Structure 1
Amino acid sequence: MPVLVLASASPARRAVLRAAGIEPVVRISDVDEDAVAAALPPDSAPRTVVEELAKAKARAVAATGELPADCVVVGCDSMLLVDGELQGKPYTPEVARERWKAVAGRSADLLTGHCVLRLTDGAVTASAVDTSTTTVYFADPDPADLEAYIATGEPLQVAGAFTLDGRGGWFVERLEGDPSSVIGIGLPLLRRLLHDVGLSIAQLWGDPPG
């Protein structure tokens, strides 16, 4: 049975896969995301940026040579598109606060690039890349609630300074698109990409419970 290797340290992505019946092997890519993005042409389309980041992560893990003989490596990268500008992780409370001022009471598009590499005996035999786009409608949080949220540290390490599956979910009014993609790995798109490299979802599910 092929093994799905998740090229990410994200517990949210792992949780999505586990809830959907796949127990991934986690390998962290250690890719310098800022350096990859900076090396792209300044006029690169937003989807190109997230796809190149996803490819860099998947390729870095595939190149380690320390993977199961029959596996598929999945790399992902998410960024929030606000007024034509891509926003990644804010890292600091100050930046997170400014990000929320820009989206409070508005909508923005969450782009998640996906790269799937099929490996056999260490060699890449097939690949597929695409982006999932979901429109997120944000609430206008009470200032005290927003400050409390930022103080938790949760929004500092996630694209767009919010989560859907954590405390940030309180401040998301609705979505147009795929909720799992907003969490970090889109199941509908991943299913299609896996099919493109010759795999079905059933091949990756573990044994049924009981």
Structure 2
Amino acid sequence: MGPVPIFVLASASPARLQTLRSAGLDPLVVVSGVDESQVAGVPPAELALALAELKCAAVLDRSEVPDGALVLGCDSVLDLDGVALGKPDDAADAVSRWRAMRGRSGVLRTGHSLRDTSSGRVVSATASTTVRFADVTDAEISAYVATGEPLHVAGAFTVDGLGGAFVTAIEGDFHNVVGVSLPLLRTLVADLGHAWTDLWAASARQG
């Protein structure tokens, strides 16, 4: 077993960063800046994975990424009736989405692309979690959108913030809804020949 790699998160998502930190990692954040509009016309699961792969690839040559790092790109979309819903365009779009989502279920799909820069190997997969939304009122939708929270997240909702009260059930990995599936990531890390628990030690040394 070689040296434990530095873990790099190619995402600006505070929720992803906090999830990884709570799981014992201390990622170096290098924001990809990928134009997400460049991928279109594909099913939600494929879209999430394609964007995750683009985000991972976009930071590989950055000077901030140390040699031998593990680089993770992630992207999430809400699959509602086969339509991929990312971040809403504006408040009106968020209101419209919630009126369509309330009382129904959608599938939160998060693409994960993990590259070992020392070997050049990359492993990718999509995690899917079913989310049941409460039958919220128009007044609740308006108040929620007015907070600004749903404007910055895929599917126009959070499960770990103000939107948590509007989610009645989750089938699958909770962390995937937040933005990164920890069980899937553990598997991807192992596929690249590293031990998940070693990353805890790497986190402690970085701290």
- Where on the TM-score scale, by shorter chain, does this alignment land: which range? over 0.9
- In the TM superposition, residue 142 of structure 1 has moved relative to its aligned partner by 2.6
Match of 2:9 in 1: 6
Paired with 1:63 and 1:53, the residues of 2 have a C-alpha distance of 18
Tell me the matched-pair count: 200
Paired with 1:161 and 1:45, the residues of 2 have a C-alpha distance of 19
- In the TM superposition, residue 65 of structure 1 has moved relative to its aligned partner by 4.0
Paired with 2:26 and 2:178, the residues of 1 have a C-alpha distance of 17
Match of 1:75 in 2: 73
Q: Deviations over 1:13-36 (max 9, x none)?
A: 00000000001000000000011x
Paired with 1:115 and 1:63, the residues of 2 have a C-alpha distance of 16
Match of 1:202 in 2: 197
Match of 1:59 in 2: 57
Would you identify which runs of 4 or more consecutive aligned residues in structure 1 move more than 3 Å?
none
Q: Secondary structure at the match of 1:125?
A: coil
Match of 2:90 in 1: 92
Paired with 2:136 and 2:27, the residues of 1 have a C-alpha distance of 35
Range moving further from structure 2, 17-26 or 192-201: 192-201
2:161 pairs with 1:166 = yes
8 Å CA contact retained: 2:43, 2:84: no
TM-score by length of 2: 0.93
- In the TM superposition, residue 52 of structure 1 has moved relative to its aligned partner by 0.6
2:152 pairs with 1:157 = yes
Paired with 2:161 and 2:60, the residues of 1 have a C-alpha distance of 30
Paired with 1:132 and 1:79, the residues of 2 have a C-alpha distance of 11
Segments of structure 1 that go 5 or more residues without pairing to the other structure are: none
8 Å CA contact retained: 2:44, 2:78: no
Paired residue type of 1:85: V
Q: Deviations over 1:92-151 (max 9, x none)?
A: 11000111011100101110000000012xxx5211000000000000113222211100
8 Å CA contact retained: 1:91, 1:157: no
Paired with 1:190 and 1:71, the residues of 2 have a C-alpha distance of 15
Aligned CA-pair RMSD = 1.3
Paired residue type of 2:160: D
TM-score by length of 1: 0.92
- In the TM superposition, residue 165 of structure 1 has moved relative to its aligned partner by 0.6
8 Å CA contact retained: 1:7, 1:73: yes
Segments of structure 2 that go 5 or more residues without pairing to the other structure are: none
User: % of aligned pairs identical?
Assistant: 47
- Aligned partner (choices 14, 18, 29) of residue 15 of structure 1: 18
- Aligned partner (choices 25, 28, 38) of residue 25 of structure 1: 28
